[in-house]
Structure 1
Amino acid sequence: MLPVLLMLLCATAVCRAQAPAEFTPPGPNVALHKPYTLEPGPNYGDCSIDRDRTLLTDGVYTQGHFWVQKTTVGWVHRHPVAITIDLGRVEAISGVSYSTAAGSADVAWPSGILLMVSDDNDRWTVLGDLIELANKQGAPPERPYRTHRFVTGELQAYGRYLALVVDQPPYMVVDEVEVYGGKPEWLTLPMTGKQVSMKPLEYCRDMTMQDSITARLRTDLDEIVGRIEGAGLSDAAGTQLRARAEALRAEIQPIASVPEDFTTVLPLNDLHTRIYALHAPVLRAQGHPPLVVWKSHRYDPLQPLDAPAQPPTAPPALRERMMRNERRAETLNLTNSTDGPLAAELRVTGLGARSRLVALREVLPTDTLQRTPITAAILPPETQADRLRLTIPAGMTRQVWVDLDSRDIPAGTYRAALAVDGPGADAVTVSLTVRVSELAMPDEFDIAIGGWDETNNKGGYEVTAENMMPLIANLREHGVNMPWSNPQVMPTPGEYDAEGNMTAPPDFTSWDEWVARWEGARCWGLFPNVGDNFAGEPVGTPRFDKMVGAWVTAWVEHAAGQGIEPGQIMVLLVDEARTDAHDQRVIAWAKALHAAQPEVVIWNDPIHKEPETVAPEFYEQSDVLCPNTIRFLELGQTYQDFFVARQQEGSELWFYCCSGPTKLLDPASYYRAQFWLNLKYGGGGSLYWAFGDEAGGSWNAYLQTRTQYSPLFLSPTTVTDGKHMEAIREGAQDYEYFRLLRERVTELEAAGVKSELLAEANALLVSGPERVVGIMGREKMMWAVDKDRQIMDVMRLRALDMLEKLSEL
């Protein structure tokens, strides 16, 4: 569910893109009506996708609001974008103009527009940044909405090809590019500027990598230097460390070439390792021993340089209570204050035959495209899961995920010791106590869990033939029970006669393949992205209704042979319906589907800001209404009451979220807490955009070309767990605690049982979700924002206490 660029009509909007008043084009527009290429291709549907590649050089400036005009070209969550114009011959070039708009609806001005020229489309010369050149004449204000032309007349260059590499996330909209001719004598002069043999987009990405690497190193070095003051170092030691820091700073230079196997796992390279090592004497000056073992909440953000403010006086103790057949976790942090890498080894003892209760897994720190490090990638355990060996670079902190799995573990209290050893460091023993309840977590969750996974046909986004089945296995292991398809999986229409009778059945090949991959799923989410006709028949005609009815009936009958009931088929006809045209399309299709197969579910995720103004039939045809969680929370009581009223009228209420980049969002308040929002409102589904969308890949975040959304770490061949995915499973389990509690209370009340415990349980059923929802919302969804992440653990354990007490009544 890609976030929608809301149309904010502005009565005072400038109709034609404006250049600074004092700018006069220094020459004729030699790009007029010239061909060009766009890489990647446009994908924002409210603008044009410019199939013929003519709009940007047609000399026509857009009238009206930019991003709803078919005279503009738009991208969403794709950056940077290379616009390469073929001028037809080598031309002298004195300037460039780029026409765009920003200032509302989350659209910002470009952060950079790299200009490059070439005679042969092979070797290129870098001219500079158009934004930097244009802003000499004054930068446009961030708000309100306005159009603007970034222009310069300061160039003295030549070439047949001119490329603009534009970085303008998340939305980029442009309507015209002009290139101004220069003096003919320039053609004989030597070109100034960096010469490169890479294509413009490739060069820009390489420069982004270089900039990101050097910025990461400088930022971490500055952080460490800032900690020297006040660390308790002697003057001489402080002076020596600062001198080392300056020597390291001098080494921070763009590298000749970035290795092909480069990853954004921290540290990034040998120099980065030596920078982090500078932190070790600071830690020792603060009194820390060689190996510091400490604890933080598993979903608290952890930075590579984090360490306790004071040396721990005793080893941490790990305690957990859980049901049988459940997965929970704790974490340990290990900080190395020695001057070299520390090879730590962890061993769990004392569990005997129950050793499978615990698995130790390393959590890797990685950088993000936004240059905010996270510690979230959870590696698989070693073959002997109750042991772990990891290397902690000097001055850094590494985290261990203590995975607790009570499947096939009898009820009881289990006590173990977790020994942590390292060369030159005193051994530390951490106590681990796990109490497993007599109560059991159900094998299947009673809430729909999905996330637009792209696991049909050959995959999509970062889902490939090689990683698709591991992804499906991972998702199912974390409780996902509702796969989502894109339009490719839909049965074909079939063939029909003039009266609308089916004469040839649909082709179910893609559907069958998808169903086989997800055999036994709770329900099936399908997005056909319907238009205004079916197999050529316009929407709303009797023949249309008859054809759609025959088609869905054939589909339902085919699915029945696969053990799938009609009520498990859930169809999203139009994504994020927000206009009357969308609503009417949904109504027409839904009526035709329901008339033939009333149990097939029409699943809608509307984003109308004023839902009460929508045609009532839209809601009458909606079996499931799934508002966006962030909008639901921020638009207030009236908005919330509207959806609750529709729920009371018979529609199911679910929730989905689609904010990003998700690696910077809080696993607790964004992912796990959405299940508690379902608890508060009696919801039946928790969905997330998007399990398969990792913006090009997880392991080199500096090359991501758009906003990433996956809670996992994906490569073309591998799938690695992430804390955000763990939070989804924990949230589903939390949901089951309260669902079981509600069922037990209802059962006892129906049996006429009288007990004060029932009043306490009913109060908890209200107050628990209410307390948790208090840490949700747009202002609280970022991981870096402080919040009470323990509240879900506290409320869950209260529910467990109450369930155990009520089980005795």
Structure 2
Amino acid sequence: QIEPISGASYSTAAGAAGVLWPRSIFVLVSDDGQRFFPAGDLAAQAADRPATGYATFRFARIDFRTHGRYVAFIVDPTGSYTFCDEIEVLSGDPGWLRTPVSGESTSDLQRFFVDARTRVAIARRLAADVGTVRRELESSLQISAAVRARLVPELAAAENEVDAIPAPPHDSFRAVLPLNATHTRIFAVHGQAAQARGLPPLSAWVVNPWDFVRPFDEPPAGADGPGTLSISAMSGETRSGAINFSNATGRSMKVALDVDAGTAGSDLRLYEAIWTDTRELTPVADALVPLREGPAFDVPAGMTRQLWITFTPSDRETGTSRGRLRATSDGGISVSIPLELRVLSGSFPARPTLHLGGWDYTDGDQVYGLTPNNRDALIRQLRLLNVDSPWARRAMLPGTYDGAGHLKTAPDTSIFDQWVSSWPDANRYMIFVNASDSLGGVPVTDARFPTAAADWIKFWATHAARLGVQPSQLVLLLVDEPHLPSQDERVVTWARAIKAGEPRVRIWEDPTYTDPAASLPQLLGVADLLALKRSLMLEEGARFVDFYRQRRARGQGLDVYGASGPARLLDPYTYYRLQAWVCADIGAGGSFFWSFVDDGDGSSWNEYAAKKTLYSPFFFSSDDVTISKHTEAIREGVEDFEYLAMLRDRVTLLSRTDPNRAGLSRAIALLDSAAGTVLGASGATDMEWVSDKDRLSAERVRLAIADLLELLR
């Protein structure tokens, strides 16, 4: 029956195993179970929740004055988990039953959640930035009383607008900073405060491209000029640099860019790093949008904006060219940054050694962030990224089988054919079979199953060969992340039947036992390639890794894959770039990431609306795909691996033909120590982007390899 409701509570725990307190706990009431009315957010006033360490906590409010027969709790977790051991609905005054419930109702709780979370996130984003600017106004001794007296009311006026801001249009909103006009005014107050503290209207300074940047960042105190942007690359590879620009005024600037003749060229590309907020309310300058001809970009009042520069030499002479990049605002303010572009000796191969993939599932066009209108754009970006191991999940259909288990009706090949035509030069064709307890209606326990599976793989191997794909290029993941005996047994049953039909087809498995020896020995035996999960390598340490090193020493192939998230807050350097160095360290031949297409259910540009954790390093819209610092870090990792491969090949050749060659012993020593040096650097196992750490070790070792390659030519 309908009851008066004075409040509600939600009992939970957090502070251990990656579990954090929920961001919001929305409570809605309904008399009929169809139309729900918001009652409040239990987390909105819970300021006394424990800040650190494991604890239990009861989120509660007793200020409701409503009624209903049905009560809905919608929890917005911070991260992937929330736990609850008790929910309470508190009774109220029976007289409230005579008062209609006020407010706007909803019959779509999912839509309500997205709108409510977006509205709350915007309010919290703006409130946090108001707090930052207010602390600046209150603490800076360089801001005069007169300026403070003018800016404090401006900031207060903007703050007063925050709670009244409605949810933005659901389908068009992007969480790009500044989020709205009120946010723009908050940043403008900061710009005026920064100007009052003596900062120049427009500043520029060179930064490590992989370091975390913040919207309020300022040029380093006491720096002697902006520094020199220096990028070194071989012909045919792409390397990156970055420059921060800060606007210490109260108005937006349009900044025009010009690279002088000493360094200009089509091999130098300029991108704007776009600010987007995350579900965790940690803004990131991650999406990289190319600047067009006559390049210019906006630097909003009071914000720092980053210019990303890539260098892909193709027809330049080996050596160093120097010049300047000049940035001029629409108000006539100009800054100049020295550029140094070095073309290293040697040429980068068209097909890198390290195999690369990321469960892109481009055999379809309606999965995760993939649509019919952006599929081609994604494939184009993946090919530019040196992906040579695309993934499919529906390409190898089962067909039907007769009473003896032989193939009776051939599978439809159209999906497979289209997929292969999209990837004509792939090295591996990775297929997630998702092996079940039957194939085409034949149970795995049926005596016909081995025959059916053998016929199935023979058909597909023969068909693939007609398209130019060799059986060894078909790489099958039968069961994802097996960690139970029943899953191991399923892999073994399928793999044995497949190998009996076509032994050249390869099996790729990614077991996730914390003790790898706990998996069935037969599972390890039937897999041609074993993939190590990067997080398990870090958590379980040398014992875990050495188990697989021993497998490799006996001839089994290894790959490495990452499956952590949310992607935007992962360090591009340690998580993405250094994975290639992990591959080099253990002798793995492939690097994979979950997932190039998993965008948290369509929320790349608006994480406030994300229904799930976002894993893709790309930014998806319905008809386009935008690269990011994270994708560029993947590219540079593959290129780093190639430097090691080049040096190893050169050392192998000279050890046989010219063992006394000057520099050879140094090269051998560097090969032995390179991966350990990079992976042993301070912070190399810390995957959080916001952390300060050494992000130069890979670059130092790469350039040391380049110098030795030059010496050993």
* Alignment TM-score, normalising by the size of structure 2: 0.92
Q: Secondary structure at the match of 1:453?
A: coil
**Deviation at residue 577 of structure 1 after TM alignment:** 0.7
Partner Cα distance (1:175, 1:496) in 2? 50
Alignment of 1:308-707 (within 5 A): 308-310=219-221, 312-351=223-262, 355-382=265-292, 384=293, 387-486=294-393, 488-491=394-397, 493-539=398-444, 541-695=446-600, 696-707=602-613
Partner Cα distance (1:374, 1:316) in 2? 23
1:262 aligns with 2:173: yes
2:110 to 195, 201, 219: 201
- The answer for the alignment partner of 1:279 in structure 2 is 190
Partner Cα distance (2:185, 2:63) in 1? 43
Q: Secondary structure at the match of 1:434?
A: strand
* Alignment TM-score, normalising by the size of structure 1: 0.81
Q: Secondary structure at the match of 1:626?
A: strand
- Does the 8 Å CA contact 1:677/1:769 hold for their aligned counterparts? yes
Q: 1:195 to 1:503 in 2, by over 3 A?
A: closer
Q: 1:608 to 1:714 in 2, by over 3 A?
A: same
- The answer for the alignment partner of 1:77 in structure 2 is none
Q: Secondary structure at the match of 1:460?
A: coil
Partner Cα distance (2:127, 2:92) in 1? 41
Q: 1:153 to 1:535 in 2, by over 3 A?
A: farther
- Counterpart amino acid of 1:464? T
- Counterpart amino acid of 2:467? Q
Partner Cα distance (1:434, 1:266) in 2? 32
Partner Cα distance (1:584, 1:151) in 2? 48
Q: Which moved more, 1:578-587 or 1:750-759?
A: 750-759
Partner Cα distance (1:562, 1:776) in 2? 48
- Counterpart amino acid of 1:784? V
Partner Cα distance (2:682, 2:499) in 1? 36
Q: Secondary structure at the match of 2:491?
A: helix
Q: 1:750 to 1:597 in 2, by over 3 A?
A: same
In structure 1, the gaps of 5 or more residues are: 1-29, 31-89
- Does the 8 Å CA contact 1:324/1:410 hold for their aligned counterparts? no
1:725 aligns with 2:631: yes
In the alignment of these two chains, the number of paired residues is 709
Q: 1:430 to 1:620 in 2, by over 3 A?
A: same
Partner Cα distance (1:221, 1:580) in 2? 55
Alignment of 1:755-770 (within 5 A): 755-770=661-676
Partner Cα distance (2:321, 2:231) in 1? 10
Q: Secondary structure at the match of 1:250?
A: helix
- The answer for the alignment partner of 2:36 in structure 1 is 124
- Does the 8 Å CA contact 1:496/1:547 hold for their aligned counterparts? yes
Q: 1:715 to 1:289 in 2, by over 3 A?
A: same
**Deviation at residue 112 of structure 1 after TM alignment:** 4.2
- The answer for the alignment partner of 1:190 in structure 2 is 99
Q: Secondary structure at the match of 2:225?
A: coil
- Counterpart amino acid of 1:371? L
Deviations 1:774-796 (CA, angstroms, capped at 9, x unpaired): 25989610001111111111111
Q: 1:133 to 1:244 in 2, by over 3 A?
A: closer
- Does the 8 Å CA contact 2:400/2:441 hold for their aligned counterparts? no
- The answer for the alignment partner of 1:37 in structure 2 is none
1:744 aligns with 2:656: no
Q: 1:436 to 1:133 in 2, by over 3 A?
A: closer
Partner Cα distance (1:357, 1:445) in 2? 20
Q: 1:100 to 1:598 in 2, by over 3 A?
A: farther
Partner Cα distance (2:201, 2:61) in 1? 57
Partner Cα distance (2:478, 2:8) in 1? 43
Alignment of 1:104-123 (within 5 A): 106=18, 111-119=23-31, 123=35
Partner Cα distance (1:250, 1:314) in 2? 40
Q: 1:483 to 1:805 in 2, by over 3 A?
A: same
Q: Which moved more, 1:90-99 or 1:337-346?
A: 90-99
- Counterpart amino acid of 2:257? L
- Does the 8 Å CA contact 1:287/1:310 hold for their aligned counterparts? no
In structure 2, the gaps of 5 or more residues are: none
**Deviation at residue 732 of structure 1 after TM alignment:** 0.6
Partner Cα distance (1:366, 1:153) in 2? 36
Deviations 1:227-253 (CA, angstroms, capped at 9, x unpaired): 332352234434443343333323332
**Deviation at residue 416 of structure 1 after TM alignment:** 2.9
**Deviation at residue 313 of structure 1 after TM alignment:** 3.2
- The answer for the alignment partner of 1:306 in structure 2 is 217
- Does the 8 Å CA contact 2:13/2:21 hold for their aligned counterparts? yes
Partner Cα distance (1:293, 1:103) in 2? 40
Please report the RMSD computed on the Cα atoms of aligned residues, expressed in angstroms: 3.2
- Does the 8 Å CA contact 1:165/1:201 hold for their aligned counterparts? no
- Counterpart amino acid of 1:210? R
- The answer for the alignment partner of 1:214 in structure 2 is 123
Q: 1:280 to 1:602 in 2, by over 3 A?
A: same
